[in-house]
A and B are shown apart, each in its own frame.
Chain A
Amino acid sequence: MKAFYTIVKRELRSYFASPLAYIILVVFQVISARFFFLYLQGFLQFQFDPSYQLQTGELNLNNLVVLPYFGTISIVLLLIVPLITMRLIADEKKNYTAELLFTSPIRIRTIVFGKFTASLILLIIMLLLSSINIFVLMVHGNPDFGAVFSGYIGLFLLGASFLSVGIFASSLTENQLIAAVISFGVLLLLWLVGALSDAESSVLGYISVINHYEDFSKGLIELKDVVYYLSLIFLGLFLTYTSLESERWR
């Protein structure tokens, strides 16, 4: 437990000792806020446009602002997560610190899980920052906080899955850039396979990371979606572990 805490602490320190974490947080916040206000603006225009007044069912904050806002965040996560995870393991190999870690009395799974946890904390900070915008909505009306909450659960699971894929990519190379490209490629693929087939029942539809997010954004927390994300997280971490372990056996 102490070893785990040590790894988490060092990773967080390393994130915030370099400008990278701040740049990531700022870029994330600027992009998502920009889109947020775009959606809000649209909502306000609709609100005062009499021709839309009739469609009251559609015209609410959740559908016009929160939903597209979360959609934007999920896309920004797709772009930013590879930058968060790229150095996690690749850098240890490049700086030969892997040799220190693997000759220390600490398990590989503790190392992997510690690094993952540190990146999760960064994700949580990002999501918390993004939620500030949601509170702006209270000025304009009553957003459905249940749907906001489930949407955030979904974003968290989605982001965590992305992180675990990213860590795996980082364990495959000692080059950060290559790690980022691999994880972006894999994530994009996982995202787009859904477009190849709309039916959620098909295999491709099931594999798609984003299909499982839709229920969350509508306010539903479904077991099958949670199971999907947890499985993906586990798979990513397990593959990372295997890749590190097999490297030593070669």
Chain B
Amino acid sequence: MVHVHNLTKRYGSLVAVENLSFRLDRGDVLGFLGPNGAGKTTTMRIITGYMPPTKGTVHIEGVDIFDNPLQAKKMIGYLPETPPLYLDMTVAEYLDFVADIKQVKRKEKKSRIFYVLEKCGLSDVRKRIIGHLSKGYRQRVGIAQALVNNPSVLILDEPTIGLDPLQIIEIRGLIKSLSGERTVILSTHILPEVTMICSKVVIINEGKMVLEESLDYLSEGLRNSGSLLLRVRQNGEGVKEKIMSVNGVSGVKPGSSGEFVITPSEGVEIREELVRLVVENDLGLLELRPLVSTLEEVFMKAISSEGN
């Protein structure tokens, strides 16, 4: 469980995060979205106890990260934007070191390290020097490091940034398999990633929350926004009026080359009528589909409406 309450962070006069609050339960996977400079890294650094906020509180499983940092930090696994690796160590040595500073119990250490090596696909490279590994492998070591203390809260700052497409797919799969009993916070600016992995979305812009939504609800809402896109071959005079005349149509916006965006009245199904009209008037149906706005569109709308 992660509870972020009224978080504000100022760097001098720059307000990086402003009054941010959200609450995550066990099993939630939060996609933490925002353009570059929105304050994602800053927020994650505060949640992990790397730096204190100017105002506000963070609770990890009910433990305040600033009143009781040693206890709270034991429950967190954190992959910073740049994986914190000692390039002169081997993978196994490094994980051993991390397990020790994270105070993994001696009895559990060996099996934990074995588990994360397996889980992150690192077993074959465990004796290799980290500095000699490829970027994708280093990222995996970064994730392995975050998992070694079996954290109940896992925080990943742009885990797929800078990887090639194949590596991205692998890392996503890995992250997906890590959720479950944990609470995961994942920042990214790759939107499809969120649809694939996350159960919740928070979008921030210029430090302020602009959207907080569960993903199920979000995609449902996207589909039901209700508008239809109609494209016909005949794009002559009076087509718009004809469409307007269909029962239940409340608005028509003609676009380029025979496209019309049609808004029905709330909850009215107009597709059947619409098709009949097109066929009867021999307009030449090319396309009719619900206008599903993508997460991109929501994202752009959210951050631009905030800007104005």
Contact = CB atoms under 8 A, between A and B. Distances in A.
Interface of A: 2-3, 6-7, 10, 13-14, 17-18, 95-107, 248-250
Contact of B84 (A10, A99, A249): A99
A102 B50 contact: yes
Interface string B237-281: 000000000000000000000000000000000000000000000
A18 B88 CA distance: 8
A2 B88 CA distance: 22
Contacts of B101: 3, 6-7, 100-101, 104-106
Contact of A248 (B51, B80, B145): B51
Contact of A2 (B74, B82, B103): B103
Interface stretch (B25-33, B65-73, B110-118): B65-73
Contact of B48 (A10, A98, A103, A250): A103
Contacts of A106: 70, 101, 103
B88 A102 contact: no
A6 B51 contact: no
B83 interface: yes
A96 B83 contact: yes
A14 B86 contact: yes
A249 to B, nearest CB: 6
Contact of A249 (B48, B51, B78, B80): B51
B83 A103 contact: no
Given A3-B103, A10-B97, A248-B50, A99 B70 contact: no
Contact of B70 (A7, A18, A107, A249): A107
A35 to B, nearest CB: 33
Contacts of A101: 101
B52 interface: yes
Contact of A105 (B83, B84, B89, B102): B102
Contacts of B50: 99, 102-103, 248
A100 B84 contact: yes
Given A14-B86, A103-B76, 10 more contacts: A6-B100, A95-B87, A96-B82, A97-B84, A100-B98, A103-B78, A104-B98, A104-B102, A105-B71, A105-B103
A174 to B, nearest CB: 13
B49 interface: yes
B85 interface: yes
A95 B97 contact: no
27 contacts: A2-B103, A3-B101, A6-B101, A10-B97, A14-B88, A95-B87, A96-B80, A96-B81, A96-B82, A96-B83, A97-B85, A98-B84, A99-B45, A99-B84, A100-B80, A100-B84, A100-B145, A102-B49, A103-B49, A103-B76, A103-B78, A104-B101, A104-B102, A105-B102, A106-B70, A106-B103, A248-B52
Contacts of A99: 45, 50, 78, 80, 84
Interface string B41-75: 00001001111100000000000000001110110
B217 interface: no
Nearest to A103: B48
A95 B71 contact: no
Contacts, number: 74
A105 B71 CA distance: 7
A95 B51 contact: no
A70 to B, nearest CB: 34
Nearest to A6: B100
B210 to A, nearest CB: 27
Contacts of B52: 248-249
Contacts of B80: 96, 99-100
Contacts of B82: 96
Contacts of B45: 99
Contacts of A250: 11
A102 B49 CA distance: 7
Q: Which of A97, A98, A107, A250 gathers the greatest number of chain B CB atoms within 10 Å?
A: A97
B11 A96 contact: no
A46 to B, nearest CB: 49
Contacts of A96: 80-84
Contacts of B100: 2-3, 6
A114 to B, nearest CB: 10
Contacts of A98: 84
Contacts of A6: 97, 100-101
A18 B80 CA distance: 26
A6 B104 CA distance: 12
Q: Which of B50, B82, B87 gathers the greatest number of chain A CB atoms within 10 Å?
A: B50
Nearest to B99: A6
Contacts of A100: 78, 80, 84, 98, 101, 145
A198 B175 CA distance: 67
Q: Which of B52, B97, B145 gathers the greatest number of chain A CB atoms within 10 Å?
A: B97
A118 to B, nearest CB: 13
Contacts of A95: 84-87
B87 to A, nearest CB: 7
Contacts of B11: 250
